[in-house]
Amino acid sequence: MNINEKGFSTIEFLIGAVFITFVIFFPIVIQMEMHTIHIMEQELDRTLQMASVEGYVSDEIYRTVQENLSKKGIDEVDVISSPLNYPQEKGGEIDVVILAERPNKSMFSGVMNLIGGDDIEQDLLKVEGTIMSEYIP
């Protein structure tokens, strides 16, 4: 029997199947990840605008951020800001950080494991920004 007459071995088939699966699903997973980050950046922009008017991130703004992101499938949201609990006068800086758990963590983690990446089950998505306060007491 000639070596060229053999078919694919099981190992070759598995390597090919994993490669094809990666090629098909990696762009989809990355697109989902970028979409989630884009949604969070839009919410960060809204939060910065509201905080600029009020001088800080009030409890109402915090709840609004959580509700808006929850409607879009992003739960476990935390908003960190400075200054805390008091308005920053006009011209001062307001820093806002939005942290959220990755909504598609199992799929993203699975694809990352396929290429030998870290298991990121507990990873958080983070967006942050700074704006000047427009609050006039």
What's the whole-model pTM score?
Answer: 0.74
Q: What does the pLDDT look like over 36-76, one tens digit per residue?
A: 899 999 999 999 999 999 999 999 999 999 999 999 988 88
> Ramachandran region of residue 85, left (φ > 0), alpha (ψ -120 to 50) or beta?
left
Helix (H) or strand (E) holding 14: helix 10-54
Q: What does the pLDDT look like over 70-121, one tens digit per residue?
A: 999 888 899 999 887 888 899 899 999 999 887 766 666 666 666 666 555 5
Q: What pLDDT is recorded for position 93?
A: 93
- Domains of the chain by range and CATH? 8-132 (3.30.1300)
For the chain, percent of residues with pLDDT exceeding 90: 39
Write the single-letter amino acid at 132: M
Q: What is the 3-state secondary structure (H, E, C) of 24-87?
A: HHHHHHHHHHHHHHHHHHHHHHHHHHHHHHHCCCCHHHHHHHHHHHHHCCCCCEEEEEECCCCC
Rounded Cα distance between 95 and 83, Å, is: 8
Q: Any idea which residue has 């694919």 for tokens? A: 8
